[in-house]
């Protein structure tokens, strides 16, 4: 199950995201650790091609945080569409998980929502209510261990409550927002 997104190289796996847990269930687990990546860089990344060639059943995308201050976020719509098209070509289910925001964005989250089909769209802040300052690292942006655990639990809890079978709910439903309501 590739998880595509920005992860700081010094971060440890979050609770519930332990690679050994995924391997024990017969799943693969791939996280690329880089600083400052963007939807545009992932849309053209050759490593993504290699991961997708392994035909994953599920891809979780967590991109968008670095684009929060873009003056014209619609400029990244094509990259978002290209990225999800690559994922869809593999037959994989996909969920685009927005980052827990630390400031108001200039519209990138709406652009992601509008252009990330056929991926489901998970609005993290709508489910989390945001992260508190003590749930973020010293940079005041990235979740710390506690914030990351709450974020992953919010995602998994919401996802599992939808049907009890995450892959089935993704494969059998119309594209929807995974948010309260």
Residue spans per domain, the chain: 2-172
The pLDDT profile of the chain, 181 residues, written as one tens digit per residue, is 345 544 443 444 444 455 665 566 666 666 655 567 889 998 888 888 888 998 888 888 989 988 999 999 999 999 999 999 999 999 998 999 999 999 999 999 999 999 999 999 999 998 888 999 999 999 898 899 999 999 988 888 877 666 554 444 444 444 444 443 3
Q: What is the pTM of this model?
A: 0.77
Among the listed residues 125, 126, 124, the one whose alpha carbon sits nearest the alpha carbon of residue 180? 126
- What is the pLDDT, as a whole number, of residue 115? 96
**Cα torsion 75, 66, 5, 158: sign:** negative
Residue 116 in tokens: 């990330």
- What is the pLDDT, as a whole number, of residue 172? 40
- What is the pLDDT, as a whole number, of residue 171? 42
Q: Which residues pair with 62 in a beta bridge?
A: 5
Pairing of strands 58-62, 93-97: parallel
Which CATH architecture fits 2-172? 3-Layer(aba) Sandwich (3.40)
CB 134 within 8 A of CB 146: yes
- What is the pLDDT, as a whole number, of residue 156? 82
Tokens 């690559």 belong to 86
- What is the pLDDT, as a whole number, of residue 11? 47
């Amino acid at each position: 199950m590739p998880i595509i997104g920005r992860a700081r190289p010094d971060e440890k796996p979050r609770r519930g995201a332990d690679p050994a847990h995924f391997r024990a269930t017969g799943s693969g687990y791939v996280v690329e650790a880089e600083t400052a990546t963007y939807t545009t860089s992932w849309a053209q990344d050759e490593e993504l091609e290699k991961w997708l060639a392994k035909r994953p059943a599920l891809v979780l995308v967590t991109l968008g945080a670095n684009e929060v201050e873009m003056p014209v976020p619609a400029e990244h719509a094509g990259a978002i569409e290209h990225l999800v098209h690559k994922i869809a070509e593999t037959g994989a289910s996909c969920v685009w998980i927005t980052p827990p925001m630390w400031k108001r964005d200039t519209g990138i989250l709406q652009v992601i929502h509008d252009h990330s089909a056929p991926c489901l769209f998970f609005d993290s802040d709508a489910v989390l209510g945001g992260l508190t300052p003590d749930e973020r690292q010293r940079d005041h942006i990235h979740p710390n261990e506690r914030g990351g655990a709450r974020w992953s639990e919010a995602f998994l809890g919401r996802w599992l409550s939808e049907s009890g079978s995450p892959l089935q709910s993704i494969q059998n439903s119309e594209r929807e927002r995974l948010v309260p309501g």
